[in-house]
Amino acid sequence: MAFTLIDLPYADLGEVISAETLSFHHGKHHKTYIDKMNAAIEGTAHDSAALEAVVAAARGSDQGLFNNAAQTWNHGFYWLSMSNDGGAPSADLAAKIDAAFGSMDELKAQLKARGAGHFASGWVWLAEKDGALSIEETHDGDTLADSGFNPLLVIDVWEHAYYIDHRNARPAYLDAVVEGKLNWAFASENLERGTTWVYPS
């Protein structure tokens, strides 16, 4: 089974993430991960597996396949983690945010700080485990897809996510994404479902 590039639900995200950035990040970076993964799994036992199963099987045993499978999953989740009109958290999610962080403003401040402070490339996640929310970080191409956490949102802090629009100003990118482009409706759906999001097959 060949995996495909997930469709973007928007043409751009205004001045925060331009159509030019998306053409490279989605149309080239994400597509390259998918193409390399598909080539690696063709004719193998992974050929008919769900992407999450490919990630789990490759972890620790096939770094090349893991990198491409995990990055395919992370990017699909990232595109849906953002929106031009992300709505507001559900009542359940809002209550869990207050319980874990004290307020939405404090959660936003911590997401920005963790993203800005993350050394080199990686991902910053809002995740749920055992009913409690936390901010998690993964380095390089690592993922929460097979981690035991239920990811709710993710922010990509690789340079190619923001360099065209914000140059080397990662904090400016994070501020713009966190303050206006996070898809709280998607996060609420992920919390309500209670299981890790599945990459479309």
User: What pLDDT score was predicted for residue 112?
Assistant: 98
User: What pLDDT score was predicted for residue 201?
Assistant: 85
The 3-state DSSP composition of the chain as helix, strand, coil percent (nearest 5) reads 55, 15, 35
Section 23-32 average pLDDT: 98
User: What pLDDT score was predicted for residue 86?
Assistant: 83
Which is the CATH superfamily of the domain at 17-196? Answer: Iron/manganese superoxide dismutase, C-terminal domain (3.55.40.20)
In the 8-state DSSP scheme, what is residue 28?
Answer: I
> 0.75 exceeded by the pTM?
yes
Model confidence band, residue 47 (pLDDT cutoffs 50, 70, 90): very high
- Evaluate whether 133 touches 90 at the Cβ level (below 8 Å): no
Residues 95-132 have pLDDT tens digits of 999 999 999 999 999 999 999 999 999 999 999 999 99
**173 pLDDT higher than 90:** yes
Distances in Å between the Cα of 60 and the Cα atoms of 57, 63, 126 are 8, 7, 24
Tokens of 67: 């990198």
Q: What is the residue-averaged pLDDT of the chain?
A: 97
